[in-house]
Structure formats: C-alpha cells, structure tokens
Structure 1
Amino acid sequence: MNRHQHTGPGNLSARNLSPRNSSRRDSSPRTSSPRDPGPWIPGDSAETLLVTGGETLRNEVERIVAAAGGQLRTVRDVTDAAPFWDDAAAVLVGSDIRELPLRRRAPAVLVGLQGDGDGLWHLAASIGAERVAVLPDAAAWLAEYLNRSRAPEPGGLVLGVTGGCGGAGATTAAIWIAQAAAGLGARVLLIDGDAGGGGLELALAAEDVPGLRWPDLAGVSGSIDPAQLDDALPTAGGFSFLSWPGTREPAGGVDATTVAGVLDAARRGCELAVVDIGRGREALRSFAWECDRIVVVVPARLRAAVAAARLLQELPPVETVLVVRASPGAALDGPLIAESVGLPLYAIMPEIKGLPAATELGRLLEAGRQRAARRFAEVFLDLDGGDDW
C-alpha cells in the first residue's frame, strides 16, 4: 500500500464538526483507568522516551527536556525501548535508528543534528514519524512540543491542501472547502502557508480587512490562546483567515516554532483548520508536517502528474488523497492521473466558467457559491454521506 494512502477514520462530517470531536492522532481525551489516573497536570510523572545510541544527540535532548521541566528516559535501541514505548508522553527517535518495533502508535518526533541534512525528512516519512526536529535550531520548538505532549487536548482537524504543480488550483480548493465548512456552522480558520504566493488575502479580496497577518506574529513563542488568536484575525466568507500580506515587500520572519504554535492554537480552537500549504520546501516542512490530512490538487496533465509524484517525497506520512482539476480538452482522465501519481482519487475539481477571472479579481468566494463548487467542497465534509477517505 502507498505510504500516503488513507487507512484511518472517516471524513470530516456534519456530525464530527461539533466542537472537539474531530481529533488528531493520539490527541483524544484520556479516560480514567487503573493505569491512567486522568489528565496530566504540572508535576505529573509522564516522561519522554528517547531512543538513540548517539551521545551528542542524547546530550542535546537532555538539555531541552530539563529546560522544559520534564523527565527523560533514554535507551540505546528499539529492543530496550519496547517496554516503555506506549506509556511515554512522547517518543523521540534519533536519526541513528532505522528500524522500529511493532507498536500501537508512531514515534512522535524524529530528532537529528544539523549535519544530518535533508535525509531526515525522507527517513521520517519512511518510518512514520509525525514530526522532524533538527537540533540545535529546533530546540525551542521541541521544548514547546514536549510541554504540549504532557497535556494532550482534544482538537479539530488540520487539513492541508497543496498543488502537485504550480497553478494547480490548491488555493481555490482550500478556499472553497473552508467556505463550505463555515456554511455548515463550523468554526473554521483558513491559513496561508505560502510566503511567496502573493497573499491569500488577495484571493479573498480581503486585503483591507483589519486583523493580524503572519508578520505580526513573528517571534511569537509558547502556547497561543485560541480565543485571543481568533479575535485578532480578519474574517471573510464566514471564516477567519491568516494570510501573508498581499504587498510587494518580501514576506518572512516567521519560524517553524511560531508556525507550530499557531497550528496548535488552530487545532484547539476550531473544528477545521484548512492550510493552503504552497509547494516550496520550507513551506512543506513548516506547514505540511503539522497537518493531519493532506489533499494534493493536480491538473489532468502528464507533466503535472510527474511533478505531483515527486512532491510526495516531501510530504509527511499522513492520510493523503488526490484531487484532479478538470480542464477542457484534457488528454488524461482522473483515474489514470491518480494511478500515475500513486494516490487514491478522491474528487474531481470542476471547471467553472469565468474561474480564471474570478481568481485574478479576488472573487473566489463568489465562485464558491456556485452549485458545482459547493458539491466539490461538500465531498470533504461528507455532507452527502460519501465513503470514508
């Protein structure tokens, strides 16, 4: 089975759009039992498990865990780790570990050192790690992650949308999905993950709507209050959004720690956060690896299918499906594109008359009210009782 093919729970639906119902892996509320006395509170004995034989890496992690006020258990290999794996608050696997034991849950974080390079992300995808931390640069992020792992909260779904090639229509799909969910009455946050994309706010014709943009959050660290974030963000189409500014000034200044904090707040404060990821390597590593599920949008063209297949190597090993964008005179059909890419075909994105002009003029919300666009977006909300993905 393809490592990105869905094998888990069902769609985001009218039922599970209720607050706190649609949860991330391992983030469901704990229930009391003889082995589990209840939710973690400061001072609880939940420990972090580190599996590595590397002394330098062990020293780095020890320093971070101590600064975060946690407890660390270190073992050299997966055989020694097995008795402690499932009871740990978080599992960290060093980049020197290449084979993992049979287990009930994936390792939370693959940790490595700066010299390990790009191979860390490929290793993480192959072993099923949920995150990657490159030390020492990611020390602040890892400390915050470990703090959250000791106090798990239920939360909403973070759905990433990315284009298999440039101009695929990922932004359009993300906006329509957010719009449809908001129309259902859900609390929705649409997040612009593409710093070089020109600003999601332009696609919404909302550049003049007051509220925070990404540069306003530069340097923010630690836990972000979901309600305060929501109050500070602009709204359009019935949902909140966080965009890079649609100006000519270069966008930047927000690191992975800030992104993780914002996505964590979005998960805790919304039923659905839709992330327009973008295609750049930095955006994929900052945003895609924070998503619970990913939708890849690709036009019905051979070159687009080849580009999308390459993109999969940069994506985390989470549930991933394909959307094929219809176009007049397309030489390839949806199933053939899906077979070429190696992802299950989930939906066909309709070709709507006047869509290119609507994109240029910031009228995607208006286009999203058309019946074909609504039907497409509702597939992701399971309003029609469709099959699980």
Structure 2
Amino acid sequence: MRELVRDHAGALGMELSESPSEGTTVCLVVDAAALEHQERAVRTGRLPLLVVTASPEVPQEVWERALAVGAQAVVPLPAGSDGFLSHLAEFSRPRAASRILGVVGGCGGAGTSSFAARLAAAARTHGSTVLIDADPLGGGLDLLIEAPEAAGIGWADVSGLGPDDGEALHDGLPAVDDVRLLAATNHVGPAPEPLARVLTALRPLGSTVVVDLADGLVPDCAEHLDQLLLVVPASDHAVRATARRLRSWQLPDAIAQVVVRRRGPLTPAEVSQDLGLPLAASFRDGPAAAVPLLDVRRRGADRSARRLMAHLHQEQAA
C-alpha cells in the first residue's frame, strides 16, 4: 500500500514522508490503527488528513475513526485512484490562492442563489470573480441574474478538465458584468466529480470563487471550500432544518458560518447561537423586482454582501 501511495504522489511530483514534519503538504495514514497515532500531528500542525485503505468497501471502523480525528476523506486504493490523485493535487496547491466560498441553504427556499449572486457582485471590487451554479435541480443562475446568451464553457464541457487547466477554464467562461459564470444552461448541473475538478483547477488563480451549492453536494466538495456560508431564514422551522443538515454533512471544523435572512421572529444572534455557528452576515429582502448581480443596491442583501466580502478580503490579506 505504501508503494502504491508513493507512486501516486510521484505522479504529481510529490515525495512520500513517513512522518509529518515542517513542509509536509498532507498527512496520510494507511490503516485504522495509525489514525489515533497521527491525530496530534494533524491537530497541532493543521495538516489536512487523507486516510487510505486497501479494502474496496471502506470498513465502518475506519470511517468512524477517520471522522473522529477530522479526516478530509477515506480513499480505497487502487479502486479510488482518480479521486486520490484529485485530493493530492488539491492539497498540494497553495491554500492562500483563490478563496472558494460555498453558499448553501439551511432549508428549502432560503434565498441561497440570490445571496450567492450578490456576494459575487461584491467580490468584483477585490479582483477576478467566478460564480458557479452547482445546484443540479435549481432553476439556473443564468436565468436568475438575467444573463444574456453567450458562447462559453458550461457544465457540459468540463468532463476532461485537469488540475492545470484553471486559466483556460476561467478565460473560457462567459462574463456577466465582470463576473465569470459557470452555469448548466439547458444541460444537467454538476455531479460531485466534475465540481471537484473545477474547484481544483480554479484554486491557484487568485480569484474569488462563489459556489451556489445544492445541499446534496456539500459533503463531497467541503474539502475544497475555504468557507461554507449557510443562508438561514430567521425562523424555528428553518433553524431545525439547518441543524439536521449540519448533522448529516459532518463538516470539517470551523468551515461553516451562518448568514441570516431576516424573515421570521428570531434575531440573527439567536439563530447563530441555536446552530452553534459564527454569524457571518444578516440581511433583509430587497425589492422584489431587483435582479441579483445586475441591480446592485445600497442597502439590504447587497450591503451585507459587500461588508462580508470586505471582511473576508481583509482576513485573507492578514
């Protein structure tokens, strides 16, 4: 198994070290017994952790121990070779390059797509911005923002994308008001693997990448995100639904924050406290006729998005 891992690492120009040390990119363990031994290195060195197993079906005890120590993924080899290479390529890239922000609804009808588009509009002043429609069953971000029909790369074109194709992907996406848009148009939206390929390719470009996520894709792409923003209406029903989704996703530590849509009896602070998540922003609905990204307003969700992006930009610079 170690030789197989070494071969995969070598294919990406990486060397396999037997113990985590300064300069290590990722912590790898190859059996369940080694997980507890490596926990300290993972926790203190803030290394991403991949668990590799020779079993085609991952044993339950491996899953349980991997989750307990914060593993990013459990990969069977050789069956999962493509996924393993994708993970290694992602972790070997500088984490301070692009900032990748996932936006997902804590419940149905939360207003996720609208806030994602407004967040992308706010990001334009900080540099290159990509807005990704990653909701296979949604109505389409291109329709929401009234994007004109334009030739360019869509989800139907990314199946052969490699980790070094980020610039070609970025330049091939249609631009809407200085925001690059990856949308499904008339095709089916992304599955987990194409989405992972896209995020891996965009990582080194230094852009802000805003991903409008379907809730079912969150577990598969969480490792690629710098932050996951949960849009939650200020009601008990929405908070309960969000709590259930959080339990099912089993997210990495400190990745999730809440954005409160102030439609309901709860205060933003109460929603944050009930969910045990930091409050990233809160907003009130804007005029019904306003088009996200196209119509930028001084107040409401647009102002909240601007404040949030300014904070994230300062945080990244620091």
Shift of 1:109: 2.2
Q: In structure 2, what is the equivalent of residue 337 of structure 1?
A: 271
Q: Greater RCO between the two (CA within 8 Å, min separation 6)?
A: 1
From the CA coordinates, give the structure whose radius of gyration is larger. Answer: 1
Shift of 1:366: 3.8
Deviations along 1:104-148, one digit per CA (max 9) or x if unpaired, are: 222342334542278877755542334553544531232244356
Give the conservation status (yes or no) of the 8 Å contact 1:109–1:132: yes
Q: In structure 2, what is the equivalent of residue 379 of structure 1?
A: 307
Deviations along 1:30-82, one digit per CA (max 9) or x if unpaired, are: xxxxxxxxxxxxxxxxxxxxxxxxxxx556535534555654345xxxxxx4x
Pairing partner for 1:214 from 155, 159, 181: 155
Pairing partner for 1:364 from 292, 302, 306: 292
Give the conservation status (yes or no) of the 8 Å contact 2:48–2:91: no
1:348 aligns with 2:304: no
Q: In structure 1, what is the equivalent of residue 169 of structure 2?
A: 229
Question: Judging changes above 3 Å, is the alpha-carbon distance between structure 1 residues 151 and 194 closer, same or farther for their aligned structure 2 residues?
Answer: closer
Q: In structure 2, what is the equivalent of residue 287 of structure 1?
A: 221
SS of the equivalent of 2:27 reads: strand
Amino acid at match of 1:203: L
Name stretches of at least 5 consecutive residues in structure 1 with no aligned partner. Answer: 1-56, 75-80
Q: 1: CA distance between counterparts of 2:31 and 2:113? A: 34
Amino acid at match of 1:174: A
Give the conservation status (yes or no) of the 8 Å contact 1:106–1:130: no
Deviations along 1:186-237, one digit per CA (max 9) or x if unpaired, are: 11011122222232222122262221111111133342142x2122101113
Q: In structure 1, what is the equivalent of residue 40 of structure 2?
A: 101
Give the conservation status (yes or no) of the 8 Å contact 2:135–2:189: no
SS of the equivalent of 2:293 reads: helix
| Superposition RMSD in Å | 3.2
Pairing partner for 2:5 from 49, 54, 61: 61
SS of the equivalent of 1:72 reads: coil
Q: In structure 2, what is the equivalent of residue 204 of structure 1?
A: 145
Q: 2: CA distance between counterparts of 1:332 and 1:136? A: 50
Pairing partner for 2:98 from 156, 159, 166: 156
Question: Judging changes above 3 Å, is the alpha-carbon distance between structure 1 residues 128 and 234 closer, same or farther for their aligned structure 2 residues?
Answer: same
Give the conservation status (yes or no) of the 8 Å contact 1:158–1:275: yes
Question: Judging changes above 3 Å, is the alpha-carbon distance between structure 1 residues 324 and 383 closer, same or farther for their aligned structure 2 residues?
Answer: closer
Amino acid at match of 1:61: V
Q: 2: CA distance between counterparts of 1:237 and 1:60? A: 47
TM-score after normalising by structure 1: 0.69
Give the conservation status (yes or no) of the 8 Å contact 1:181–1:381: yes
TM-score after normalising by structure 2: 0.82
Give the conservation status (yes or no) of the 8 Å contact 1:350–1:376: no
Q: In structure 1, what is the equivalent of residue 195 of structure 2?
A: 259
Higher helix share: 2
Q: 2: CA distance between counterparts of 1:206 and 1:385? A: 26
Q: 2: CA distance between counterparts of 1:225 and 1:387? A: 24
Shift of 1:373: 2.7
Q: 2: CA distance between counterparts of 1:345 and 1:378? A: 15
Pairing partner for 2:121 from 179, 192, 202: 179
Question: Judging changes above 3 Å, is the alpha-carbon distance between structure 1 residues 181 and 132 closer, same or farther for their aligned structure 2 residues?
Answer: farther
SS of the equivalent of 1:128 reads: coil
Q: Identity of aligned pairs, percent? A: 30
Q: 2: CA distance between counterparts of 1:261 and 1:385? A: 25
Q: In structure 1, what is the equivalent of residue 84 of structure 2?
A: 142
Give the conservation status (yes or no) of the 8 Å contact 2:31–2:52: yes
Question: Judging changes above 3 Å, is the alpha-carbon distance between structure 1 residues 160 and 153 closer, same or farther for their aligned structure 2 residues?
Answer: closer
1:244 aligns with 2:184: yes
Amino acid at match of 2:134: G
Give the conservation status (yes or no) of the 8 Å contact 2:25–2:47: no
Q: 2: CA distance between counterparts of 1:158 and 1:384? A: 11
Q: 2: CA distance between counterparts of 1:379 and 1:124? A: 37
Q: 1: CA distance between counterparts of 2:176 and 2:306? A: 19
Q: 2: CA distance between counterparts of 1:377 and 1:236? A: 18
SS of the equivalent of 2:211 reads: strand
Q: Which deviates further from its counterpart, 376-385 or 314-323?
A: 376-385
SS of the equivalent of 2:297 reads: coil
Give the conservation status (yes or no) of the 8 Å contact 1:141–1:260: no
